Amino acid sequence: MKISRHLHQQIYLKNLLITVILLSSIGILAWLSTRYSVQADITGNAANTLSPASQQLLKSLPGTIKITAYVKKDQSIREQISQLIARYRLHKPDIMLSFIDPQAQPEKTHELNISTSGLIVVDYQGRQEKISYLDESALTNALLQLANARERWVTFLTGHGERSPEGEANFDLNQFSKELARRKINTQTLNLAALPAIPDNSALLVITAPAVPLLPGELDIIRQYLSKGGNLLVLSEPDNQNLPILEPLGLRQLPGTLVDSNAKLYGINNPVFVLVSDYPQHPLTQGFHTITLYPGAAAFAPGEESDYQSEVLFSSSDKSWTETGPLQGQIRFDADGNEKQGPLPFAYALTRNLDNKIQQRIIVIGDGDFLTNAYIGNVGNQEMGLRIVNWLIHDDRFINIPAKSAIDNTLQLTKINVMVMGFGMLVILPCLLLGAGLFIWRKRKQR
């Protein structure tokens, strides 16, 4: 068919119009992509989408959230952190993320007790939370703590050689006290000889291994405090006999010091260092994945029956025992003596439901060194200490966000399946392609 000049112009204008419309559409879509973001999560279990609980919490948080990641210059690690924060920014755009190499700021690293594995610091409305293991559950619950922080008081018993929350010595608790203060948990000291009463504003009483026995009148005040439902944290030490309050709690301290030969697996040659990496199911340890270190602990055993329900929090390994002899030279388990073979519990959580429907909470730990200035920066000690205090003062709101793992991410093939696939790819498929080519060649040759 002969194309006239007029028809040629019509075809040209039509093609030009289609081109203009196509380019305009691409330009409009490109402009819209800079103004609006549209994403779709097509994973089987919505692994790339925040849970409804996280989304609801972000909607209730006014103001800017600042997240600082103290991690080394590893592109893969920083990319994973950025991807997680990007999911939060979809629901709250005013989240600021910055990266700092810990080696570039050694003073800040020392101030924050940042380990070699790094640290995530979340700042919100003048308060701060630290995260050593970052995932959605950890970050959402850190934001929950920051959003609901209110002023509370923790009382430390003094006057008997206890560790002081104000002291700067290695065996004191000043660093831990500062971390509590960042979360609006204030600390105060109490000498019952000078003030024979526990303050009414105290949400928790802390007793840290008194070096001398408490006076009978002081013990009566503590017993009255417990009878009224007061919360208590007891940090003992090996062979400390100055804690008669353990008896009414239904616990007794075993003689000797816990030693654990498993410490060598972590490069620690001192067997009195007990490391815990496996935690029981308890609200206090929910979502906690970090090792904690206890330098010199005493084991406990159930005593007489009491009104409290007890749960084991920490236990030593099966390669541990209570050493009652000198901790020098070669030490061995003495099966004929009064030493006990592990695993042995050295921390208990006790609860009692009161008439006013309030739960009384008590924690007894056979080591007070793990929270001192000398050891609080080791692995997960600081986070565990903060969790202990939060649980004891009933500030343990926790959003249970199950970990999202990819489903069907592995393919199991039998030998027959592998042979069929190999034969098909190496023989059948090439033969089909060759046959199709010959068929097309013959058809064209016959024209």
pLDDT in tens, 132-149: 778 888 888 888 878 876
Q: Is the pLDDT of residue 299 over 80?
A: yes
Alpha carbon distance 307, 401 (integer Å): 33
Residue 125 DSSP one-character state: T
Alpha carbon distance 216, 358 (integer Å): 28
In the sheet that holds 65-70, the strands lie side by side as 95-100, 65-70, 119-124, 127-131
Class of domain 52-142: alpha beta
Across 250-265, average pLDDT: 87
pLDDT tens per residue, range 73-118: 877 888 888 989 998 998 899 999 999 888 888 777 777 777 666 8
Mean pLDDT of all residues belonging to the chain: 86
Across 404-423, average pLDDT: 72
Give residue 46's pLDDT band: very low, low, confident or very high (50, 70, 90): low
Give residue 330's pLDDT band: very low, low, confident or very high (50, 70, 90): confident
Choose between 210 and 446: higher pLDDT.
Answer: 210
| Token pair of 256 as six digits | 């000797």
Amino acid identity for residue 161 in this structure: G
Class of domain 152-392: alpha beta
Alpha carbon distance 428, 422 (integer Å): 9
Q: Is the pLDDT of residue 175 over 70?
A: yes
Amino acid 345: pLDDT:
95
Amino acid 174: pLDDT:
94
Alpha carbon distance 427, 432 (integer Å): 9
- Single pTM value for the model: 0.69
Across 317-323, average pLDDT: 90
